[in-house]
Amino acid sequence: MSRNSKKFINREIAFTAFKDSFIKLNPKTMAKNPVMFIVEIGFILTMLLTIFPKAFGDSGQNIRLYNGIVSLVLFITVLFANFAEAVAEGRGKAQAETLKKTRKDTKAKLLDKNGAITEISASELKKGDIVLVENGDLIPNDGVVIEGLASVDESAITGESAPVLKEAGGDFSSVTGGTKVVSDWLKVKISAAPGESFLDKMISLVEGASRQKSPNEIALSTLLVSLTIIFLIVIVALLPMANYSKVKIPISTLIALLVCLIPTTIGGLLSAIGIAGMDRVTRFNVIAMSGKAVEACGDVDTMILDKTGTITFGNRMAAEFIPLGKHTLDEVTRFAALSSVKDGTPEGRSIVELANKNNMVVDEKEYIDSEFIEFTAQTRMSGIDIKNGIKVRKGATDAIKAFAKEEGGEIPSDLDEVTEKISKLGGTPLVVAVDKYIVGVIYLKDTVKPGLVERFERLRQMGIKTVMCTGDNPLTAATIAKEAGVDDFIAECKPEDKIFVIKKEQSEGKIVAMTGDGTNDAPALAQADVGLAMNSGTQSAKEAANMVDLDSDPTKILEVVEIGKQLLITRGALTTFSISNDVAKYFAIIPAIFAIAIPEMNRINVMSLSTPTSAVLSALIFNAIIIPLLIPIAMKGVKYKPMKTEKMLLKNILLYGVGGIIVPFIGIKVIDILVTPLLKVLGL
């Protein structure tokens, strides 16, 4: 699945959107968008005025032609608004088609109470059924592993090529329909009814079929409807005022004025902005259960993050070589690398990498005839027996002490002091011995993921507080928190502690986000305003959350928060731009209507528009073409840079508020210059 498609529209999407623009003209569909529904009614009225001008009291030279042009521009305005929404839906449908290719009508091996296998279609499976999936089988639907252990290829869903291990119990028992077992076998209890799997939900969401308006979107829609009603009352009141001033205003001009003054720009783009926001989230392989969840990300004040797997790698890596007694750093580095030259564990590889950074490179080929001693639970050490008889070992402190004593050596006086210091810091000491001599200690620590310091700083610039939760002791937690750059931490954290801190933040009016994957995370995920569950985690965690990350990357919540903020900023910026447009349209049309009867009105004709007819049509044409020009911004979102809310608000007011006043002045004047010669030819 393409996550970051640079082209927001292609030929196929454009053609489908153009066709859907006409289908959406159905009044039942248009009524869902009251602002554009008013424009459609205006189009119908002006079309009737074009056909029967005298029946509506319209008279005058070329009035039918004028009404026809107004009607055409209004029709194009509605089409452009429909096109914007259809483009957003088209992107989702294109992505849904890609997802549908991964959903096949597979066969399922249904197990009965006696263990007998019946092969049925996956679509016939019910929630609670138990199925057997073996090497090469597709998992027929979402479920929980109740028996077995196997590698599962999830690339069809996540795009990640490396198979993941699934087993009964623990935090990696959840499986997704459409993924493939590539080793061994699993017994899976189906947890979703046909058509209700995560893949089905994702397809439905990206198609826009089940997208519900968020509270913010509903509130903005209410504001737009209120403004429309206010301007409608103003326009109706304008007619008797004009008659009193002995100014004859064509009905089509009043309709044009209404359409120009109501917030048609944001009205035409509002739905597209919401759909595009959901689309950006799904392109990151995140299922948002609702638009409300995406928007809540944009309002997040506090982020709760697990330490292991989110802030740190989870595997303890070599951080430092510490010499003991009279031994040198070079000695410890060399023998630590030698003991790990054939150690394929993450710890072993990290020791070799750290030695390389310290300019101590060990050539494995030189020790091809040496015997590598693997780590076992009994010996608790590993190492290498070199051909010349030298024995090199690394391992737990007491195990290496016993090894050195067996070889006839003595224990360095500073060994216990160094190992205790490392343990207090939350690290793991690995002691290195060469025959009877203990030469030094390897300091293993849970390493902070690269780039997180910068990302947490970015969140801080947004005004978001980060809190790390860990089961480590306070000293270890403080060390990791300082290194990662989080704002606060909770040491020796239990599941109930996470819920407590979430409720505490919420009681202060803050919006809280958190990630989790285990059953013990489910209550906190449900309590948080934004709960991002890992797809690799338990079913209970996924059901409690309002977002599921198919890639199972705990740090992805950082990007999701930025997408949520971008959605809110985009909607706010385009709303500001749309309402600001009305100022310029006011100065274009009002003087044009009253200038003949009230010459003083010419003083506010600051654009020096050619004729009243040109002024009305220029404003109306600008009102139409600005919608498609803003579609790229609605689709891609306003460019977002982390900064304080107050600074961001000021920036957007200056850019889209002031810009929303200046751009129409320029645009309407340019259109006026272009259409005036044509209107003279037409006699208007």
**CA–CA distances in Å: residue 652 to residues 492, 612, 634:** 43, 34, 15
Confirm or deny that 375 is annotated as ligand binding.
yes
**Gap between the Cα atoms of 277 and 291, Å rounded:** 8
Q: What φ, ψ does residue 295 adopt, rounded to 5°?
A: -65, -35
**Token reading at 158:** 């996540």
Confirm or deny that 204 is annotated as ligand binding.
no
**Gap between the Cα atoms of 279 and 292, Å rounded:** 14
Alpha helix ranges (H) inside 208-328:
215-244, 251-261, 264-282, 291-298
Confirm or deny that 150 is annotated as ligand binding.
no
Q: What is the DSSP letter of 498?
A: H
536 in Cβ contact with 514 (< 8 Å):
no
Confirm or deny that 288 is annotated as ligand binding.
no
Confirm or deny that 207 is annotated as ligand binding.
no
H/E/C letters for each residue in 545-591?
CCEEECCCCHHHHHHHHHHHHHHHHHHHHHHHHHHHHHHHHHHHHHH
**Gap between the Cα atoms of 252 and 612, Å rounded:** 13
3-state secondary structure of 145: strand
Q: 153, 200, 306, 472: which one is catalytic? A: 306
Confirm or deny that 377 is annotated as ligand binding.
yes
3-state secondary structure of 171: coil
516 in Cβ contact with 545 (< 8 Å):
yes
Residues paired with 513 in a beta bridge: 303, 530
**Token reading at 48:** 């009737």
Confirm or deny that 280 is annotated as ligand binding.
no
Confirm or deny that 379 is annotated as ligand binding.
yes
H/E/C letters for each residue in 642-664?
CCCHHHHHHHHHHHHHHHHHHHH
**Gap between the Cα atoms of 117 and 612, Å rounded:** 81
277: which residues sit within 8 A by CB, 6+ positions away? 291, 294, 295, 563, 564, 566, 567, 570, 637
H/E/C letters for each residue in 374-427?
CCCCCCCEEEEECCCCCEEEEECHHHHHHHHHHCCCCCCCCHHHHHHHHHHCCC
52 in Cβ contact with 41 (< 8 Å):
no
Give the DSSP H/E element, type plus range, for residue 130. Answer: strand 130-134
Confirm or deny that 553 is annotated as ligand binding.
no
State yes or no: is 487 an active-site residue.
no
**Gap between the Cα atoms of 237 and 242, Å rounded:** 9
**Gap between the Cα atoms of 186 and 153, Å rounded:** 13
**Gap between the Cα atoms of 495 and 603, Å rounded:** 70
Confirm or deny that 385 is annotated as ligand binding.
no
Confirm or deny that 382 is annotated as ligand binding.
yes
**Gap between the Cα atoms of 416 and 438, Å rounded:** 12
519 in Cβ contact with 541 (< 8 Å):
yes
**Gap between the Cα atoms of 33 and 30, Å rounded:** 6
Annotated binding-site members for Mg(2+): 517, 521
Instruction: Write out the catalytic residue numbers.
Output: 306
Annotated binding-site members for ATP: 343, 347, 375-382, 394
Annotated binding-site members: 343, 347, 375-382, 394, 517, 521
